[in-house]
């Protein structure tokens, strides 16, 4: 459900009077054209939000080479971060199910975000051009069985810790990184906490109190509280 | 540039080989020095394992995770407004600054913009949290290098700023004041004049620290030329904030980014330093604190009247989409990659904290330095444990 749009005092970020952001973002479009030319088939998909940001998705085989090209040919020389997303909706929802009720039916279809995706999990990095300050988000699919992707430590030394963190949190293997020790978790920790099918134990052992104390807000009008119940149910 | 990866691997090999080599040539033994997790020089619970060859570090590595709280997982079971409570505790010395990029990301996805008055107050509070954060750094710096006096000055003057933040937001350390669409409340009466007076005091504090510490010969000899980070390496490791600017990169997200905040309404300067050593990092931070007081001063006189909250629905559902917003926080670039599925809460939030990147350079940086310089380098990199571990 789209949010109820407020009546006044709302301006779209892209058409704000103070910023002169054009609806057509020529600089980013040119950047994308240049990237398309140099990456060729390695570029699977792209998404451009004018005045905001640029997303591209590269093929898994060309991950290392594509990032190398982005750094060397397009001057994306600043390493922002590396992480992953698990696109599978959580089977536990937001951990607010009433344990006395039968488990609710959830839509478990996997939908990817910007620039698409064919797999459950994706690795993504954020690179920035340190001169023009334009940033880019680069995504890559990782296979569902034995998720692995090439390591970037030979291109960006800073990827080292980020890959270790992603390895322990998502169970994604980084080929070429020979020191994938746990960054945060104990050595004998089992499971990969940021995967969506890893339950948040605190919510499992004790039901979330939010499901019990649903009271109308003090001074809140009837219409709003009725609305909140409806939107919770939807 | 590919050498860096190799160099790291070589350092591991070197540490393994250290014993054998030393025994043969010098009849000395390598030694493993464990600093922390509880150590005054570590700002919390960072543990550093250093392999020593006499007084020199052969290989050193921080061990993180003593304060890992799993915020990225926790955001997935919270609603959007609830997340600010969590992110407040990432960098606990500059809490308000942590809330801003997350709120901006949510606002970007919703297509909402805060009213101008709220943008001004946000920017002012943002800079106040920077002043509170960095003034403690300036005092703490002295303690780590053996000078006790600066820390008393820092704690005294930071208190003025914390009082201001408390009187405006209700919380000294965790304001939780930022809302999607604006701010929780307007400023209290008399706050603006009070803030002006405090900014004057803080500028005095900066002058004092510059005289006491930066002009001190011992301080200079302990920091100049220690822990030099070249420009290329800084960019590769994703260093940010003063650490990056001290390596000669002229990049400040407050100036070089188009955000619905009002830094561009004030006249201020981005300081850089060509040296890239510990002294440069500390010096840049001192100048930035001074610039922050100037920003606050100028914005205080320009706050427009009007509401502090845009009209947003009571139950906030953020439309489907992905957004990345980062701001120049006291410690460096702090950003949130927010993925929403049109639900009450975020689908995934990647928290890019400054200290994680800043401290990831230490295995590279600490190689070959002397033991007392470990503390200098860590102090000058300036990290907050909550910001590393999240």
pLDDT for B67 equals 82
Residues from chain B that touch A83, judged by Cβ atoms under 8 A, are 337, 350
Residues from chain A that touch B237, judged by Cβ atoms under 8 A, are 79, 156-158
Chain B contacts in chain A segment 4-23 (CB below 8 A)? 4, 6-13, 16, 19, 21
Chain B contacts in chain A segment 40-59 (CB below 8 A)? 51-53, 55
pLDDT for B18 equals 60
pLDDT for B184 equals 86
Each residue's pLDDT tens digit, A167-203: 999 989 898 888 888 888 888 888 888 888 888 887 7
Q: Higher confidence at residue B8 or residue B139?
A: B139
What's the whole-number average pLDDT of chain B?
Answer: 85
pLDDT for B120 equals 92
Task: Please give the DSSP secondary-structure letter assigned to residue B211.
Answer: I
Contact A133 B316 (CB under 8 A): no
Mean pLDDT, to the nearest integer, of B134-160?
86
Q: Higher confidence at residue A212 or residue B363?
A: B363
ipTM of the complex: 0.82
pLDDT at B132 over 80: yes
Cα–Cα distance list, B260 to A28, A136, B254 (Å): 20, 20, 11
**Domain spans, chain A:** 25-213
CATH topology of domain A25-213: Beta Polymerase; domain 2 (3.30.460)
Task: Please give the DSSP secondary-structure letter assigned to residue A91.
Answer: T
The pTM score is 0.82
**Residue among B64, B73, B77 minimizing CB distance to A193:** B73
Q: Are B129 and B95 in contact (CB under 8 A)?
A: yes
Q: Are B160 and B201 in contact (CB under 8 A)?
A: yes
User: How far is the C-alpha of A76 from the C-alpha of B388, rounded, in Å?
Assistant: 24
Burial B188-213 (b: 16+ CB within 10 A, else e): eeebeebbeebbeebeebbebbeebb
Question: Chain B residue with minimal CA distance to A96?
Answer: B77
Q: Are B380 and B366 in contact (CB under 8 A)?
A: no
Each residue's pLDDT tens digit, B309-335: 888 888 888 888 899 999 999 988 999
SS3 at position B284: helix
DSSP codes of every residue in A172-229: -EEET------SSS-TT--S-TTSTTS--HHHHHS--GGGT---PPTT--HHHHHHHH
Residue A140's closest CA among A89, A95, A83? A83
Query: What phi and psi, each to the nearest 5 degrees, are found at residue B266?
Result: -110, 160
Residue B104 burial (CB count, 10 A) = 26
Contact B237 A133 (CB under 8 A): no
What's the whole-number average pLDDT of chain A?
Answer: 77
Q: What is the CA radius of gyration of chain B?
A: 22
Domains present along chain B, CATH in parentheses: 71-354 (1.10.645.10)
Residues from chain A that touch B107, judged by Cβ atoms under 8 A, are 13
User: How far is the C-alpha of A78 from the C-alpha of A83, rounded, in Å?
Assistant: 16
Q: Which residues contact B30 (CB under 8 A, 6 or more apart)?
A: B15, B18, B19, B22, B51, B52, B53, B58
Question: Chain B residue with minimal CA distance to A79?
Answer: B238
Question: Chain B residue with minimal CA distance to A19?
Answer: B258
pLDDT for A8 equals 42
Question: Tokens in use for A78?
Answer: 């600043």
Share of chain A above pLDDT 70, in %: 77
Q: Which residues contact B191 (CB under 8 A, 6 or more apart)?
A: B164, B167, B168
Q: Higher confidence at residue B10 or residue A116?
A: A116
Q: Which residue has 């005045």 as its token pair?
A: A51
pLDDT for A226 equals 45
Q: Higher confidence at residue A203 or residue A43?
A: A43
Residues from chain A that touch B59, judged by Cβ atoms under 8 A, are none
pLDDT at B256 over 50: yes
Share of chain B above pLDDT 70, in %: 91
Residue A233 burial (CB count, 10 A) = 6
pLDDT for B129 equals 92
Residues from chain B that touch A55, judged by Cβ atoms under 8 A, are 322
Task: Categorise residue B240: left if φ over 0, alpha if ψ from -120 to 50, beta otherwise.
Answer: beta
Each residue's pLDDT tens digit, B188-240: 888 999 999 999 999 999 998 888 888 888 888 888 888 888 888 888 888 98
Peptide bond into A166 cis (omega under 30): no
pLDDT for A227 equals 46
């Amino acid at each position: 459900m789209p949010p109820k749009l407020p009546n006044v005092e709302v301006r779209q970020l892209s058409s704000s009077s103070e910023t002169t952001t054009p609806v057509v973002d020529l600089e980013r479009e040119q950047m994308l054209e240049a990237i398309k030319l140099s990456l060729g088939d390695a570029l699977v998909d792209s998404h451009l939000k004018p005045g905001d940001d640029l997303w591209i998705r590269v093929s898994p085989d060309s991950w290392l080479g594509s990032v190398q090209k982005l750094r060397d040919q397009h001057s994306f020389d600043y390493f922002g971060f590396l992480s992953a997303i698990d696109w599978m909706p959580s089977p536990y929802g937001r951990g607010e199910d009433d344990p006395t009720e039968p488990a609710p039916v959830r839509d478990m279809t996997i939908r990817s975000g910007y620039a698409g995706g064919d797999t459950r999990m994706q690795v993504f990095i954020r690179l920035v051009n340190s001169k023009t300050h334009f940033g880019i988000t680069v995504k890559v699919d990782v296979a569902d069985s034995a998720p692995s992707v090439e390591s970037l430590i030979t291109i960006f030394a800073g990827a080292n810790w980020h890959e270790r963190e992603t390895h322990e949190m998502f169970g994604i293997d980084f080929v070429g990184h020979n020191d994938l020790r746990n960054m945060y978790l104990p050595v004998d920790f089992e499971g990969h906490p940021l995967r969506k099918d890893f339950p948040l134990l605190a919510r499992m052992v004790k039901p979330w109190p939010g499901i019990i104390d649903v009271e109308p807000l003090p001074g809140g009008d009837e219409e709003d509280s009725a609305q909140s119940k409806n939107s919770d149910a939807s | 540039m590919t050498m860096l990866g190799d160099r790291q691997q070589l350092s591991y090999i070197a540490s393994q080989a250290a014993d054998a080599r030393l025994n043969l040539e010098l009849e000395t033994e390598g030694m493993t020095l464990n600093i922390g997790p509880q150590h005054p020089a570590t700002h919390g619970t960072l543990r550093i394992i250093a392999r020593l060859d006499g007084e020199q570090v052969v290989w050193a590595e921080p061990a993180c995770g003593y304060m890992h709280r799993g915020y990225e997982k926790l955001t997935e079971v919270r609603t959007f407004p609830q997340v600010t409570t969590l992110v407040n505790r990432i960098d606990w010395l500059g809490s308000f600054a942590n809330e801003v990029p997350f709120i901006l990301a949510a606002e970007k996805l919703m297509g909402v913009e805060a009213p101008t008055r709220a943008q001004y107050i946000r920017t002012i509070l943002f800079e106040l949290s920077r002043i509170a954060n960095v003034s403690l750094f300036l005092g703490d710096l002295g303690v780590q290098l053996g000078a006790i006096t600066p820390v008393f000055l820092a704690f005294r003057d930071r208190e003025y700023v914390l009082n201001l933040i408390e009187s405006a937001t209700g919380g000294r350390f965790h304001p939780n004041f930022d809302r999607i669409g604006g701010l929780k409340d307007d400023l209290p009466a008399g706050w603006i004049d009070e803030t002006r007076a405090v900014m004057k005091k803080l500028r005095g504090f900066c002058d004092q620290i510059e005289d006491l510490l930066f002009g001190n010969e011992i301080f200079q000899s302990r920091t100049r030329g220690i822990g030099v980070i070249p420009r290329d390496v800084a960019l590769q490791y994703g260093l940010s904030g003063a650490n990056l600017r001290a390596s000669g990169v002229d990049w400040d997200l407050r100036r070089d980014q188009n955000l619905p905040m009002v830094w561009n309404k004030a006249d201020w300067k981005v300081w850089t330093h060509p040296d890239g050593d510990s002294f440069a990092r500390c010096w840049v931070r001192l100048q930035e604190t001074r610039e922050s007081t100037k920003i606050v001063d100028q914005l205080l006189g320009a706050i427009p009247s009007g509401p502090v909250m845009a009209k947003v629905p009571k139950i906030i559902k953020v439309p489907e989409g992905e957004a990345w917003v980062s701001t120049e926080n006291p410690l460096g670039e702090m950003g949130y990659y927010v993925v929403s599925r049109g639900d009450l809460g975020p689908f995934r939030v990647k928290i890019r904290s400054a200290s994680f990147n800043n401290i990831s350079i230490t295995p590279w940086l600490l190689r070959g330095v002397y033991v007392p310089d470990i503390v200098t380098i860590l102090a000058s990199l300036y990290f907050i444990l909550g910001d590393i571990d999240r």
